[in-house]
Amino acid sequence: MPWLQTTVKLFIELLYLLRGSGISTLHVVLVGKNIKSAQTKTTATLPRDGALPGLSVQFVAENYDDFAAQQEKKQPAGQDEAPALPSPTFPPACVFAVNAGMWGFDEWKPAVQRIFEVQLRVAAAP
């Protein structure tokens, strides 16, 4: 899978920028329905190297709203519920949509709504 390697390499420069900022590992989750099913079976990782953070890149072949809804179901709903194991990949610190073509596709509407809700929850968290 040569494309997978190309995609992972995109984030390596970011590791150099994150040196010394207190980040031990950077988790990147690429979510999109145009991701191939073969890619979802592979996680790309780079170990931590001194001040350089480690990297983990995962692929999810779904629309973002479906993915976020599934992840939220895994989170504890109320205070009485037993706390789930903390997931390193949800909720995210930030959601990026690079060259996403939001201008042309109505299916982005629920995804944007979901991103807004997720980010509000992250901002409100202690």
Partner 1 sequence: MRCVSQVKSIEERIAKLNEREQRNRLKGLQREKRFGGMNAYVRYLNQRKVESMGRAPGLGLGWQLYSPTINLTGADGSVIVVPDNASQTLLDLTRKTTLSLTIFVALARLGIVNAMNTGAPAADDRELCIHVAGANWSEGVPVEVRMLTSTAASVACCDGPPIDC
Which positions touch partner 1 (CB under 8 A)? 1, 3-14, 16-32, 34-39, 41-47, 49-53, 59, 64, 88-98, 100-102, 108, 111, 115
Q: Is the CB of 10 or the CB of 84 nearer to partner 1?
A: 10
CB of 105 to partner 1, least distance (A): 9
CB of 100 to partner 1, least distance (A): 4
Asked if residue 54 lies in contact with residue 43, where contact means CB atoms within 8 angstroms, the answer is: no
CB of 55 to partner 1, least distance (A): 9
Q: Is the CB of 4 or the CB of 69 nearer to partner 1?
A: 4
Asked if residue 55 lies in contact with residue 46, where contact means CB atoms within 8 angstroms, the answer is: yes
Tally the residues of the chain. Answer: 126
3-state DSSP call for residue 58?
Answer: strand
Q: Is the CB of 24 or the CB of 79 nearer to partner 1?
A: 24
- In order of 24, 28, 31, 73, 91, the CA distances from 34 in angstroms are 30, 17, 9, 24, 22
Which token pair is 13? 């420069």
CB of 80 to partner 1, least distance (A): 27
